[in-house]
Structure 1
Amino acid sequence: MTSTNGPAAEAGTPAEAPAGSPAFVDRDQLPDRVWTVPNALSVLRLLGVPLFLWLLLGPEADGWAVVVLAVSGLTDWADGKIARWLDQGSRLGALLDPAADRLYIVCTLVALAVRDVVPVWIVVVLLGREAVLGVMLLVLRASGYPPLQVHYLGKAATFLLLYAFPVLLLASGEGTLAEIAEPFAWALTIWGTALYVLAGVLYVVQVLGLVRADRAAERGAGHAEPVP
């Protein structure tokens, strides 16, 4: 669920957002539900993170690690669809879904870097993007806004990366299958990284535009003539 309300007023009622400002998710307006199918899928994805790391860094069972990542990518797509189909959006889901996305990407990057499957520059770029977005969330909170609505570009980039990582694992092996997988792996990785960074840039632009519009509205109100 999205909202067009701005920062909370002193009385606790959200104020009207500046015209043309981006929509954002107001978690307080979502139903307070826990036992939903999308939430169960998000929890399943979160439980897969330590399993994936153990498979990749422990016994180096790359085949099973690929299966875990593929299932994660599928459930990432499915939980949003099911939430809309069954009208099962919730506050918990609004927290779990992006948290699972980011945790999978960060943990996968670290694990693949340890295995020398991905170059360091990709790790630096993607982790740097996460750090910048973390700062933007603090800016939004300081201005009284909840996080902005997830951009479709970000979801598409996440989808590409979650499928790029297992294909990179296949490409890191030997044999015909690895040779076939390599061009697809790097195509998914490059496109996913580019879209992920672009989505981050759009997020920063939206946040800064929202904050600037808010400050301009405050200055305009301060210079307004008092009503006699």
Structure 2
Amino acid sequence: MELWPAIDLRHGRCVRLKQGDYDRETVFGEDPAAMARHWVEAGARRLHLVDLDAARGEPSDENRAAILAIVEAAGVPCQLGGGVRDDGSIRSLLNLGLERLIVGSAALKRPDWFANACDANPGKLAAGIDARNGMVATDGWLETSSTPATELARDLRRRTSEISAIIYTDIARDGMMSGPNVEALREMEAATDIPVIASGGVTTIDDVRMLAESGTYAAIIGRALYEGTIDLKEATQIAEPAA
């Protein structure tokens, strides 16, 4: 199982939100590139980045500079979500050296565009499906649609064979240190053959072990790493024993 330590960016700093609430922010570092190096030195083979400002339509030069600094400092594949809504943003972000981009709201609202973008950038785009009570949430989690998350996954697969992954986040668990929503994750995995990356709620080594033993493709870990309830070196040994 792949592990992706998360680095969430707001105003150029490393932060974590609780349940996507911008008013419930904890700052964990002023130097994102140093944070990236820290996780790589601890065993990270890949990193998950989120531009929280761009996710709600407020892109900043501070975050763009931080993203470039992370890519240059890390030396491992980095994927980014937040504000990827058009062909121009895809081109400019991939030009920064990012391995993969995650499209959230636009995948739901403009599925034809997303499918065409996947076809034009094979293996470079993933769908970020964020769910609240099983329904897709959009616009930086500020809105909840009437579309079931599993229905969106199936629809995207019908439209394109070039989608690289689904990053599936249960908003109720994100940043809450309460464990992953395994039932919802299994429903998503059963709904599609697209690789599913679990995000939200991974809190303990036992969570990592459970996901790895059940065949989960990959998991993103955020607050648990920053608060020390998961040691990345130990988690990597469990998730990637042959690495």
TM-score over 0.5 for the pair? no
Larger RCO (CA under 8 A, 6+ residues apart): 1
Compare the two structures and name the one with the higher helix fraction. Answer: 1
**TM-score when scaled to structure 2?**
0.27
- Indicate the structure with greater strand content: 2
